[in-house]
Structure 1
Amino acid sequence: MRDLVITLVVFGSLPFILKRPYIGVLMWVWISVMNPHRLSWGFAYSFPFAAIIAGVTLIGLLVTRDPKKLPMTPIVCTLMAFSAWMGITTIFSMWPDESVVMLNRVSKIMLMTFATIMLIKTQKQVQLLIWVLVGSLGYYGVKGGIFTVMTGGGSIVWGPQGSYIEGNNEVALAFITIIPIMFYLYMSAEKKWIRWGMAASIMLCSFAALGSYSRGALVGIAAMLFFLWLKSPKKVLLGGLMVLMVPFAIAFMPDKWSTRMETINTYKEDSSAMGRINAWYMAYNMAKDRPLGGGFEIYNRTAFELYAPVPEDVHAAHSIYFQALGEHGFIGLGIYLLLAFLTWRKASWIVRVSAKREDFKWAGNLARMIQVSLLGFGVGGAFLSLLYYDVPYYLMAAVVSTGYIIEKTLAAEAAAARVAARDAARAAQTEAHAQAHSAAAP
Structure 2
Amino acid sequence: MPVLDLALFLTVMLLFAMGLRRPFIWVLTYLYIDILAPQKISWALLASVPISLIAFILAFAGWIIGDTKANTQFTLRQGLLLALLCWCFMTLQWADYPEFAQEKWNWVWKALVFAIFLPVTLTTRLRFEMTSLIMVLTAGAIIISASMKTVLGGGGYGNLSLFVNDNSNVYESSTLATIAIAIIPLILWLVKNSTVFPTDWRVKAFAGLLIFACLMIPVGTEARTGLICIGVLGLLMLRDVKKRMLYVTGAAALGLAALPFLPASFYERMSTLNSVEEDQSASTRMQVWAWTIDYAAEHPLGGGFDAFRGNSFTYQMPVVERNGSTVSVRYEQVTDGGRAYHSSIFEMLGEQGWPGLLAWLALHAIGIWQMEVIRRRWRDRRAPTEQWQSPLASALQFAQIIYLVGATFQGIAFQPFVLMLVGMQIGLWTYCKKRESAKQESVRKAARDARRAAASAKPAMP
Normalised by the length of structure 1, the TM-score is 0.91
Which digits, 9 at most, give the CA deviation of each residue in 1:71-109, with x for residues without a partner?
A: 222211111111111111111211223322321211111
User: 2:311 is matched with which residue: 285, 299, 304?
Assistant: 304
Q: Distance in 1 between matches of 2:170 and 2:338?
A: 21
Partner of 1:183: 188
Displacement of 1:42 = 2.4
Correspondences of 1:401-420 after superposition (within 5 Å): 401-420=427-446
Higher helix share: 1
Partner of 1:356: 380
The change in CA–CA distance for 1:10 and 1:256 in structure 2 (over 3 A counts) is closer
Which digits, 9 at most, give the CA deviation of each residue in 1:247-298, with x for residues without a partner?
A: 2223320222112111111121111112222222232222111111110122
Displacement of 1:357 = 1.0
| Residue identity in the other structure for 2:251 | M
Q: Is the 8 A contact 1:153 1:252 kept in 2?
A: no
Partner of 1:172: 177
1:390 and 2:439 correspond: no
Q: Distance in 1 between matches of 2:70 and 2:335?
A: 50
Tell me the SS of whatever aligns to 2:296: helix
Q: Is the 8 A contact 2:238 2:244 kept in 1?
A: yes
Unpaired runs of at least 5, structure 1: none
The change in CA–CA distance for 1:90 and 1:233 in structure 2 (over 3 A counts) is farther
Which digits, 9 at most, give the CA deviation of each residue in 1:197-235, with x for residues without a partner?
A: 111211121012222111122112211221123244564
Q: Distance in 1 between matches of 2:116 and 2:72?
A: 8
Which digits, 9 at most, give the CA deviation of each residue in 1:322-369, with x for residues without a partner?
A: 111111112211111110101101101110111221333211111111
Displacement of 1:16 = 4.0
Q: Distance in 1 between matches of 2:250 and 2:304?
A: 46
Displacement of 1:311 = 5.8
1:343 and 2:392 correspond: no
Q: Is the 8 A contact 1:294 1:326 kept in 2?
A: yes
Partner of 2:34: 32
Q: Distance in 2 between matches of 1:177 and 1:401?
A: 19
Normalised by the length of structure 2, the TM-score is 0.87
| Residue identity in the other structure for 2:231 | A
Tell me the SS of whatever aligns to 2:306: coil
Displacement of 1:69 = 5.8
Q: Is the 8 A contact 1:158 1:171 kept in 2?
A: no
Displacement of 1:237 = 5.0
Unpaired runs of at least 5, structure 2: 316-333
Partner of 2:391: 365
Tell me the SS of whatever aligns to 1:248: helix
Q: Distance in 1 between matches of 2:368 and 2:228?
A: 21
Partner of 1:255: 264
Q: Is the 8 A contact 1:70 1:114 kept in 2?
A: no
RMSD: 2.3
Tell me the SS of whatever aligns to 1:134: helix
Q: Which moved more, 1:369-378 or 1:124-133?
A: 369-378
User: 1:64 is matched with which residue: 49, 63, 66?
Assistant: 66
The change in CA–CA distance for 1:81 and 1:70 in structure 2 (over 3 A counts) is farther
Q: Distance in 2 between matches of 1:431 and 1:341?
A: 53
Q: Which moved more, 1:195-204 or 1:153-162?
A: 153-162
Q: Is the 8 A contact 2:296 2:349 kept in 1?
A: yes
Partner of 2:323: none
Partner of 2:447: 421
Tell me the SS of whatever aligns to 1:312: strand
| Residue identity in the other structure for 1:423 | D
Partner of 2:297: 288
Displacement of 1:17 = 3.2
User: 2:134 is matched with which residue: 132, 135, 143?
Assistant: 132
Q: Distance in 2 between matches of 1:52 and 1:102?
A: 20
The change in CA–CA distance for 1:412 and 1:234 in structure 2 (over 3 A counts) is farther
Q: Distance in 1 between matches of 2:240 and 2:363?
A: 21
Q: Is the 8 A contact 2:218 2:224 kept in 1?
A: no
The change in CA–CA distance for 1:50 and 1:366 in structure 2 (over 3 A counts) is same
Q: Distance in 1 between matches of 2:221 and 2:70?
A: 41
Q: Distance in 1 between matches of 2:70 and 2:54?
A: 21
Partner of 1:50: 52
Q: Is the 8 A contact 1:159 1:165 kept in 2?
A: no
Q: Distance in 2 between matches of 1:375 and 1:65?
A: 32
Q: Distance in 2 between matches of 1:116 and 1:385?
A: 24
Q: Is the 8 A contact 1:158 1:167 kept in 2?
A: no
User: 1:157 is matched with which residue: 160, 164, 168?
Assistant: 160
The change in CA–CA distance for 1:4 and 1:242 in structure 2 (over 3 A counts) is same
Displacement of 1:425 = 1.2
The change in CA–CA distance for 1:140 and 1:68 in structure 2 (over 3 A counts) is farther
| Residue identity in the other structure for 1:338 | A
Higher strand share: 2
Q: Distance in 2 between matches of 1:347 and 1:103?
A: 29
Partner of 1:319: 343
Q: Is the 8 A contact 2:345 2:408 kept in 1?
A: yes
Q: Distance in 2 between matches of 1:400 and 1:288?
A: 33
Identity %: 24
